[in-house]
Amino acid sequence: MDKLLIQGGRPLQGEVTISGAKNAALPILCAALLTADAVELDNVPALRDIGTTLSLLERMGVRTQRPGDEQVTLQADHIHSQEAPYELVKTMRASILVLGPLLARFGRARVSLPGGCAIGQRPVDQHIKGLAAMGASIHIEHGFVVAEAPRLRGANILTDMVTVTGTENLLMAATLAEGRTVLENAACEPEVVDLANMLIAMGARIEGHGTDRIVIDGVGQLHGARHHIVPDRIEAGTFLCAVAATGGDITLRRAAPDTLGAVLDKLRDTGLDITTGPDWIRARMHRRPQATGFRTSEYPGFPTDMQAQLMALNTLAEGTAVITENIFENRFMHVQELCRMGADIEIDGHTAVVKGGEQLLGATVMATDLRASASLVIAGLAAQGQTTVERIYHLDRGYERMERKLQALGADIQRIQ
């Protein structure tokens, strides 16, 4: 099992290219199931989760090709299975995103209940509730969601909570439904907008994406399209936290600063000097960071996927930060690992109180989930001495060649087996 060895204390300098967004690419890959025509995708990141999704689609009969490093072509013209088996779904909750497309186009789907990072309960009941409102017959059988519908019908759907994957699943299903579907309390994330833009390029009729009310008028069929995946705002935010923690001067290329409003605001509060252009971000830090508290919330609020990284930065800051996690109930598992490096953090329910210290000390730590992995890398880059980050297969799920990108910025980091 791979590990990362980090010798801390080096400021970051130089340029780094941001990869395509994992959380946009995964539903867009699944959207290829909605048409028999070829779907061509650019800016697809090379991640473990992308590979898992492609394996799942190939298992169903989707033909896939990789004409270039960041390109994937998919064609679902000979689907022989509408089942997503447990062995492929168990490592990645986003596998549930095949449910809506399969049901909409083929009238049936059998999808294993998903797994993924152990950061809290993420039930699929809102997916099931929405599809049932559209006329699907759904039941749970031996750990599978089994759904059938001759053709889905448009419906007004109000989810009990804001759910990104729920919005994406219902959005894809509604494109081929009969009549109009209205999704109320819909997720507004940039990745949802990217999926909607891809579906529109395929011939879908969608309005309101990017707001909490999305209107979809179903069509008889969709066609192929070419689409460029949006940049990964969480990867960008992670590199910004890294330079804020270590000091230095870096420029992010192929970034999307307009999707990072809440993150950039909080990082500026820490003292990070940030300038932006249409597709680049420059960040400079030449002082000790200032403590900055925050509360996670749905977009456009501060993203839960950046909570661990900014917490790592706060362990080195001047002052005390109060951090409240409002999205997932079990997303403080990185705290005990940061404390092994000398961090002073106290947990009270959904709130963490972080008292900043002047330095962290290198230690052997264990990644517990995807974003926790990134927080430990940030801590290791800033710590005195050597840090070993174990179980980095979590990191590989969502960051493309992270150690290589950090090496190019001057970090002393290497992967060992």
CA distances from 290 to 304, 321, 382 (A): 20, 9, 15
Decide if 117 is catalytic: yes
Enumerate helices (H) and strands (E) in the chain, giving the number of each.
14, 24
Within 13 Å, how many C-alpha atoms sit on residue 263's CB side? Answer: 29
Closest C-alpha among 12, 40, 30 to residue 100: 30
Annotated catalytic residue, options 117, 188, 241, 339: 117
CA 362 from chain center: how many Å? 28
Closest C-alpha among 294, 356, 297, 288 to residue 322: 294
CB 347: neighbour CB atoms within 10 A? 13
Q: Is residue 96 a contact partner of residue 111, using CB atoms and an 8 Å limit?
A: yes
Burial pattern 308-346, b for ≥16 Cβ within 10 A else e, equals bbbbbbbbbbeeebebbbbbbeebbbbbebbebbbbebe
Q: How far apart are CA 294 and CA 25, in angstroms?
A: 28
* CA dihedral of residues 167, 170, 173, 175 (deg, nearest 10): -60
Which residues participate in catalysis according to the annotation?
117
